[in-house]
Amino acid sequence: MEKIKSIAVNAAFIALVSIALIWGNTLYRQHVQFQKGERAMAAGDFVGALAGWEAAIHLYTPFSSVVEQSAQRLWELGEFSAQRGDFPRALIAYRSLRSSFYAVNGLYQPGEEWIKKCDARIAQLLKQGAPAGGR
């Protein structure tokens, strides 16, 4: 009986350490992707910024502030593009934000508020006559 208990404790310990390592690696990669988006935006690279922030959301972990920051940055990218009259890029940014959260759907749907905001903004832009192309 003692041997079974020892095996169970070791297995639980290994499982917890593995989960912690995976979580830590994912958080690190989120930060890396977010910073890539920031650097790309500073250089005026729309596609690079979009890709970096989108990738950070795709590396979703619950309670990560980086996911929320990336979502906010994508929203701002859409708003900035729309204000400049660049509706195709605005639609790309909003659709990217929305699809990023749909992509990380699991036991629950994270980012539901972002998805609703994007749906409303996309519909508004399309009503204003923005081309429907993009993602």
- Residue 134 in domain: no
Tokens of 26: 């994912």
> According to the model, what pLDDT value does residue 125 have?
94
Structural domain harbouring 30: 2-127
> According to the model, what pLDDT value does residue 75 have?
98
Q: How many domains does the structure of the chain reveal?
A: 1
With bands split at pLDDT 50, 70 and 90, how would you rate the model's confidence at 132?
A: low
What average pLDDT does the segment 129-133 reach? 68
Structure pTM?
0.86
- Residue 112 in domain: yes
As a whole number of angstroms, the distance between CA 46 and CA 30 comes to: 19
- Residue 74 in domain: yes
